[in-house]
Amino acid sequence: MSTPDPTALTEPRSLRLSIPSIEFELSCGARLIVSPRAKAAVTSLVVSIEGGARLDPIGREGTAQLAGSLAVEGTERHSESELAAILEPLGGSLVGDASGLSGSAAAVGTPESPDANWRTLLDLAAEVLVRPTYPIERFERRKSIALERLRVDEADPRVQVGRLFNTLVYGTGTGGTSGIGRPRRGTFESVSGIEREDLVRWHAETWVASRTIIGICGDLDPEAVRDHLESALAGWRTGVAAPPIDDRFPPRTTRIATFRAEREQVQLLAGHLGIRRLDPRYAACVVMDHVLGTGPGFTDRISKRLRDEEGLAYSVSATTAASAGRVEGVFQASIATSPDKVAAALAGFVEEMERIRTEPVTPDELHLVKQYLSGSFAMGFEKTSRRASQVVTAARLGLPEGHLDQLLDDLMAVDAEAVLACARDVLDPRALSVAVAGPLDEGTVRAHLDAARAGLAE
């Protein structure tokens, strides 16, 4: 049987992937991006408001999330129940969170007004953006629900290990405006101190047009959407731009943190700062990830070794590209295993990181990854919700027109040498930070990590 030639997949592809879109700047200062999709059964809306949880006041973490989620529970024109009654016949929804809004409606309106559904969706979204009322009874209910969830989270090892890891890599953000290392939904203590007036103030200061990108995808006339929103958002305050992200993160070095939980299973995250989405090594990182820790059907190296061969866990992964954004994402390796297997898990992570940094990936591995990516990539953009989200994300990141096609071409062009160079640059087992939730202390975890790295060349 002949060895597959990975270069065969670097030839030009006959099937191109693009998401057509037209961008407008509305009079209020918001950016509107309309992505027409003929015969789409659903119209999807994404409203991204710059800032979000990273701008939460110190000691009031969770403000952005609470303000966003509560915004859809009453406006100057409609109560929460009235909003729901209008959306239900449209097969529609409207949800808020720390970063803005998302919503959808069935594409088909009435014979007399076939575009009534998307117009109604936009009208309600505009109400929520501009004139939410934050009813006190809804605030108290929403805050109570948030606190109960946070109370449960305080004892949940999976939640706590994620918080610890985020802080190890990004820091707390209390000295600047990154805020990335702080919990998006806040803590029980911080949310307990939030009052309704905090949400009203937050909305007035941050939910402004100049910070907003609106993405909508469906069977739409872009000019009609623009004209409708010009009217619906007339008078929305332009406001001022959000402060830039403070990306002065802690340097990559080993840090250990533990959450004590007397459980039979340990939740473990290991990693360090990664790359930005606009990094020229991004495509090589995607391929590297699939070989190392995110391959389809447990075909990647870490899954085959730690799951199949050593039986340490059912689910294990490692990825860099998934979190790449405007600032550095993280390389993160994760596993849930028994306390007596933590040493073996850390050894596996370290050794596989070092192997991909020092040995070229095989032709078979490259072929499998490229075959998977070339077949699955476009399928991820079939839904209007994904397309609306993508055009907004591309605008936030500053990606050029045709970036999806270019990314596919770049992925197919990645060779073993590019993966090796990327791994050497991006991965560093000597600088791993480790967060653990379970019946282990920091000293034990550090000893296991030191033992795992003992054989690394200087």
CB atoms within 10 A of CB 99: 20
Number of domains the chain is built from? 2
* Alpha-carbon gap, residue 37 to 294, rounded angstroms: 31
In terms of domains, do 298 and 419 share one?
Answer: yes
**Average of pLDDT values for 346-355?**
98
CATH classification at residue 345: 3.30.830.10
**Average of pLDDT values for 140-164?**
95
* Alpha-carbon gap, residue 327 to 330, rounded angstroms: 10
The proportion of the chain whose per-residue pLDDT surpasses 90, expressed as a percent, equals: 83
In terms of domains, do 266 and 215 share one?
Answer: no
The range of the structural domain enclosing residue 405 comes to 256-452
Residue 2, pLDDT score: 44
**Average of pLDDT values for 241-251?**
89
Q: What is the DSSP track for 48-67?
A: EESSGGGGPPTT-TTHHHHH
**β partners of residue 433:** 271
Is residue 389 in a domain?
Answer: yes
**β partners of residue 106:** 42
Question: Which has the closest alpha carbon to 392: 111, 146, 102, 198?
Answer: 102
* Cβ(142)–Cβ(71) below 8 Å: no
Is residue 309 in a domain?
Answer: yes
Looking at 359-400, list the stretches that DSSP marks H as alpha helix, in order from N- to C-terminal side.
Answer: 363-376, 384-397
* Alpha-carbon gap, residue 428 to 418, rounded angstroms: 17
Q: What is the DSSP track for 281-292?
A: THHHHHHHHHHH
In terms of domains, do 374 and 448 share one?
Answer: yes
In terms of domains, do 178 and 319 share one?
Answer: no
Residue 140 is encoded by which pair of tokens? 């108290």
pLDDT exceeds 60 at position 96: yes
The pTM assigned to this predicted structure is 0.91
The 3-state DSSP composition of the chain as helix, strand, coil percent (nearest 5) reads 50, 15, 35
* Alpha-carbon gap, residue 369 to 376, rounded angstroms: 11
Q: Which helix (H) or strand (E) holds 47?
A: strand 42-49
* Alpha-carbon gap, residue 294 to 300, rounded angstroms: 6
Is residue 74 in a domain?
Answer: yes
In terms of domains, do 218 and 289 share one?
Answer: no
pLDDT in tens, 247-297: 889 999 999 999 999 999 999 999 999 999 999 999 999 999 999 999 888
Is residue 1 in a domain?
Answer: no
The number of helix segments (H) and strand segments (E) in the chain equals 16, 11
> Which of 106-110, 159-163, 418-422, 434-438 has the least mean pLDDT?
106-110
DSSP label of 341: G
pLDDT in tens, 7-17: 444 443 445 67
